[in-house]
Amino acid sequence: MTANDVSSTAELTGTEAHIEATEKYAAHNYHPLPVVLAEGDGAWVIDVDGKRYLDCLAGYSALNFGHSNERLIAVAREQLGHLTLTSRAFFNDKLSTFARALTRLTGKDMILPMNSGAEAVETAIKVSRKWGYEVKGVPAGQATIITMEGNFHGRTTTIVSFSDDEVATSGYAPFTTGFRSVKYGDIASIAAAIDDTTVAVLFEPIQGEGGVVMPPEGFLTDLRALCTERNVLMVADEIQSGLARSGKTFACDHEDVVPDIYVMGKALGGGIYPVSAIAANHDVMDVITPGSHGSTFGGNPLAAAIGTEVVAMLEEGTFQARSTEIGDLLEAGFRPLVGRGLSDVRVRGAWAGIDIDPTLMSGRQMSEALMARGILAKDTHGSTVRFAPPLVASDEDIAGLVAAVAEILTDVPRA
């Protein structure tokens, strides 16, 4: 039976029907929890059977401002009635405003807009290499970029070339050369890896996919100094950690560090539309010339309008403050569970990673148990679960999350 054998107008009803159709007709590149979501408002979502769930993943931080945020929806609706796409073959009246706003937020001279986070990382790689050749003077074809063990920057062919995740890399060789991997947060290893061919150090200020893993205190400061001393670009992937998720506008702000290139995505589109960008000063960005890089949808009017409103919301500071408050609640709630089912807890703003005693359950089992209690979260790396609730979640929402985790750990039979 093929897709053509099924009526294109046939309606699907109920969780099982949707899951069966998705599994049959969509590639199996994800392993979702068995819930089919249909509506969202604020920190909550509703499935096709009418059950409500607290969303503690928030689209991997794409939904920092919550589902169906009224301000963002209003801007999107307004722009939909005017102009959605021109391509960059022409100017449009929204990109100018967005570019000015995002440079103001980042403190950089220029932005280069794209769509997905992976595209933004690819853009940063290309800019770094070209800067290395044209500005630093690296011999043609020899540019190298230092990356971190445990990284997650996307799943394009180039990006998985410097991943150490076997699932992401198995079966996709040959890989792109020009990358050197070092231990995350180890400034000595980075210093040893830098040579005359090094053009950039690409890193996440907080490794989200790894389970909200943070480098040692002072690492960002030391890395900034090292990159400056050795004439190497400091490239911060703030796709998940930035835009208020960590309690600051950017996670680098926790050490008052400014990278040479900011890489942004996810929340930049407000959970409504894919918007990404890099930001840098003229001495870096001016290596980009007409025709050397681009995207049909990058910088389109709809994306730019939404992104401009996202910047306006961030400039108010309320989301950063709320992220910090949520982080305090998560820390206070999860920390006492260490030794009582949890082996470690890491919290930075409204972002938490908990490591469960693997003799009790896996991260997947914890996620399934939470789902049964009306809470959606995502496991990673065996016994670790990440929590990233929308920044509009209430104190009661966070208390409910903590109570559910404690209850699940208490109910697990001990050997």
- Rounded distance between C-alpha atoms, residue 146 and residue 259, angstroms: 15
DSSP state of 132: I
- Rounded distance between C-alpha atoms, residue 364 and residue 370, angstroms: 10
Give the CA distances from residue 22 to residues 7, 17, 29, 38, 139, in Å, rounded to whole numbers and listed in that order.
15, 9, 11, 14, 49
Cβ neighbours, 10 Å, residue 21 = 14
With H, G, I as helix, E, B as strand and everything else as coil, classify residue 387.
Answer: strand
CA atoms lying within 13 Å on the CB side of residue 135: 19
Task: Decide the pairing of beta strands 261-264 and 276-280.
Answer: antiparallel
Q: Report, as residue numbers or ranges, the catalytic residues.
A: 152, 237, 266
Tell me the two tokens of residue 162: 């410097």
Task: Please give the radius of gyration of the chain, using alpha carbons only, rounded to the nearest integer.
Answer: 22
With H, G, I as helix, E, B as strand and everything else as coil, classify residue 261.
Answer: strand
DSSP state of 135: I
* Residue 182 bridge partners (DSSP): 148
Report the side by side order of strands in the sheet with 110-114: 110-114, 276-280, 261-264, 233-237, 198-203, 144-148, 179-182
With H, G, I as helix, E, B as strand and everything else as coil, classify residue 148.
Answer: strand
- Rounded distance between C-alpha atoms, residue 299 and residue 303, angstroms: 6
Q: Phi/psi of residue 203, each to 5°?
A: -155, 160
Task: Decide the pairing of beta strands 342-347 and 352-356.
Answer: antiparallel
- Rounded distance between C-alpha atoms, residue 50 and residue 37, angstroms: 9
Phi-psi category of 148—alpha, beta or left, where left has phi over 0 and alpha has psi -120 to 50?
beta
Contact 220, 187 (CB under 8 A): no
- Rounded distance between C-alpha atoms, residue 341 and residue 359, angstroms: 9
